[in-house]
Amino acid sequence: MMKSMTMPKRILVVDNEAYIQEITKISLELVAGWEISTASSGAEAIIKAAAEQPDAILLDVMMPEMDGIETFHHLQAQPKTQNIPVILLTAQLRSADQSHYKALGIRDAIAKPFDPILLAQAIRKSLGWV
Amino acid sequence: MKILVVEDDQSIVELLMTLLQGQSYAVEVSHDGEAAWYLIEAFDYDLIILDIMLPQLNGIKLCQNIRSAGRSVPILMLTGRDDYHDRAIGLDAGADDYVVKPFHPEELLARVRALLRRGDTNPQVLLSWGALVLDPINCQVTWSDQLVPLTPKEYGLAELFLRYPKRVFSCSAILDHLWAHEDAPGEEAVRTHIKGLRQKLKAIDRPRHAIAPHPGEMVETVYGIGYRLRVLPIETSIDIPIDRQKNQLESMIQSIWQKSAGRIQAQVETIEEWRKEWEIDPGLISDALIGDGSGTETSAQQQLALREAHTLAGSLGTFGSPQGSAAARRIELILRENVMPSSAELTEVKTALEILRSEVSRLSTMIPGDAMPPNHRLPNRNLALPILLIINQDPLALRSQLMPFMNDRWQIEVAANLTDAERIVKLDPPNVIVIDPDVSYWTDHSLAFLNNLAQQSPPIPVVILTSHIDALERRSLIQSRASLLLTRSAQGELAPQQLVNAVQQAYDWGDFERVETTRTEGGGARILVVDDDPMILMLAQELLAPWGFEITTLVEPRQFWQVMEAVQPQLLLLDVVMPEVDGIELCRQVRTDAHWSELPIVVLTSAHKDTELVNQVFSAGADDCVSKPIIGPELVTRIVNRLERTKRLQRACTIDRSADRSANRAN
């Protein structure tokens, strides 16, 4: 019940489109006060996740070369990143996908386009940070 | 915390009472299943310990009754039956745990604590408020490791507030939770114990420089209503951004737009290039198909266009253009589904591209740093437009008829037969479906399709054009999950505006079904609130939920009886003026229904001074009348009072019945 003084949460945002990265970053920084780092591809995300040890990873699904699901599998295969919770951010979200993602071990999937005001709240809810 | 022990063996009862009372729980005992059922109907318990072999009504049946009545109180079965089959029956009947006699006291108490935690919003083993910690295992309260000496009732109060941190408790509710009904004192006793608890907490010495509230402030008085746990200040509370933050965010998003507009225009142009090339010479593109020869090949340009459409679909809404997202989504679906798009689909792509260009240009006219005009402000939710699927022999024609009435508030998908419709539903479930039975013989396939829609989560509401349906088919349809039936006029046509209204109505109904009943801690009374104004429903929910009530809201009074049966409310809050069927009529119907005639009803009126209306409300059988605008404390107090009065009556009946039963047994 008591909330202690804690460091701000650190989130890694992964999206190949620069403007989506940017809009996600400022939404989370401004609304939740979290520290956001970004990656433009699955490969970059895997390196950054291992080095930065973020509290969570927000991962786009449809990316060229390595898509979000493949990136997730790589993250799971590494001991350094396998325990970092992953949330998918996807423009193609169906209820059947939700259960498939959860069965894979993905914490949640959030639909795009998202509301920048409510994104942080949705992430908190998905990760039980409320 | 109050526990009901249902057990006919007096020696076990005595052992349980000693153990449970030793942990400061209030304990009530019932020696047979039927008497226990009356008590459960009349009183709120935090836990029930239930034997199986009981006179009158056995434990399994009692457990099933409790669960069928919608009560979620934790149940621990305590029985001598140690067979795995018996355990399975007990758990399947709705028990949360199963302990076999003879039991070990330490294990039983640990299971009791675990079950009490399960019903809480606070699942911690140790309960805390700042540096104040309550340990339910040792029944101790400490402040920074220093023991706070409390009486059993003061401890019980502290535990109650800490277990239900958001709930307001009236004196009567506190009596219910902490005293057995035969020992319950007057409400004054509650105030005395609260005072005692506060004094002991106030006596705690804490450093002067401490910022956190003093433990003496832990219990807060809600004047005229009751007590609750004071909310601790949280160091970063930016869950709901203030307007300044929202404006700042809007301004920054506009800046990102200005920076990215060139890239976004290029994405639109990539799609346009694909469309033009396909229009000019499809053969050229089909020669360049990539793939394994399985018939699913697409050209590199189509793949690129698909990717750009996907990105735009997922981003334009965030920039403030749900219409742009919907248009890009439409293009994405056509590209994803068609290796060789038809000319009709290419026309659709062309229209969607026009929408995209116009939206990009609209967003580009905004200047960063300026406040957005009201119609451009960031929406709070639903950035994607709801999707309507039209299933009709000539769906494009119907679509063009409806478009002018949709005001860009819907994204429309079309299917000319059920097979196409099934594919679309699988790919991207729509929010509402309009189906014309002429698309197929109105047979098993159609009904299977409708049943499949009902299985979706959430179920998809359906508007059915019923021109050629006979009575038998109509009955089958009603038995399926179709939300709404429409009949075409004699000319076989339905006015587009009428159909659009029906779609909107079906969507709102669907929305209602998606709103789950607010279940709060403490297993409070179930209240059904019926009002056609969603704002009033939201307000009622906000006002009443902190009281531990389970609130269900209904915006569509025509669904009233269906929802009543599903929810089984203990109080009804009804608006008077509603379309189709008003509150007075519903009130009359409830009073003449044998099952519901005793249900407490509070009516909301907008004109309190209209004595004739107030007379009508009471003549229809309402118990109370509250005028709008709603004054929070007044509504809460009236509802709490009404429920407590009803409960007192039920309890009086229960106690009379118990006395009669004891007298009969003695005779």
In tens, the pLDDT along B541-566 reads 777 877 778 888 888 787 788 778 77
Q: State whether residue A125 sits within 8 Å of chain B by CB.
A: no
pLDDT band at B293 (very low <50, low <70, confident <90, very high): very low
**Beta-carbon separation of A19 and B317 below 8 A:** no
Q: Give the B window 372-401 contacts with A, CB below 8 Å.
A: 378-381, 383-384
Chain A residue numbers with beta carbons less than 8 Å from the beta carbon of B122 are 1
How high is the pLDDT of residue A24?
95
The torsion angles phi and psi of B450, rounded to 5 degrees, stand at -65, -40
Please name the member of B238, B314, B429 whose beta carbon is closest to the beta carbon of A32: B238
pLDDT higher than threshold 80 for residue B515? no
Q: How many Å apart are CA B29 and CA B17, to the nearest integer?
A: 9
pLDDT tens, B62-112?
998 888 776 778 899 988 877 788 888 888 888 888 888 888 888 889 889
State pTM to two decimals.
Answer: 0.43
pLDDT band at A52 (very low <50, low <70, confident <90, very high): very high
Q: State whether residue A7 sits within 8 Å of chain B by CB.
A: no
Nearest to B602 by CA among B550, B568, B637, B567: B637
Q: State whether residue A21 sits within 8 Å of chain B by CB.
A: no
| Overall average pLDDT of the B219-241 stretch | 64
pLDDT tens, B380-438?
334 567 888 888 888 778 788 888 887 777 888 888 888 888 888 877 778 888 887 67
How high is the pLDDT of residue B462?
79
Q: State whether residue A62 sits within 8 Å of chain B by CB.
A: yes
pLDDT tens, B438-467?
766 556 777 778 777 766 666 777 777 765
Q: State whether residue B311 sits within 8 Å of chain A by CB.
A: yes
| Overall average pLDDT of the A9-34 stretch | 91
Please name the member of B238, B256, B264 whose beta carbon is closest to the beta carbon of A22: B256
Separation in Å, CA of A130 to nearest CA in chain B: 9
pLDDT band at B208 (very low <50, low <70, confident <90, very high): low
In our burial notation (b when 16+ CB lie closer than 10 A, e otherwise), range B299-320 reads bebbebbbbbbbbbbbbbbbbb
The torsion angles phi and psi of A58, rounded to 5 degrees, stand at -110, 115
How high is the pLDDT of residue A95?
55
How high is the pLDDT of residue A59?
96
**Beta-carbon separation of B380 and A121 below 8 A:** no
**Beta-carbon separation of B379 and A94 below 8 A:** no
Interface size A-B, in CB pairs within 8 Å, comes to 118
Chain B residue numbers with beta carbons less than 8 Å from the beta carbon of A29 are none
Nearest-by-CA chain B residue for A63: B307
CA dihedral of residues B244, B250, B255, B261 (deg, nearest 10)? 180
pLDDT higher than threshold 80 for residue B369? no
How high is the pLDDT of residue A50?
95
**Beta-carbon separation of B241 and A2 below 8 A:** no
Please name the member of A64, A94, A113 whose beta carbon is closest to the beta carbon of B317: A113
Specify which residues A15 forms β-bridges with.
Answer: none
What region does B548 belong to: left with phi over 0, alpha with psi -120 to 50, or beta?
A: left
Strand-pair category, B132-135 with B127-129: antiparallel
Please name the member of A92, A113, A115 whose beta carbon is closest to the beta carbon of B316: A113
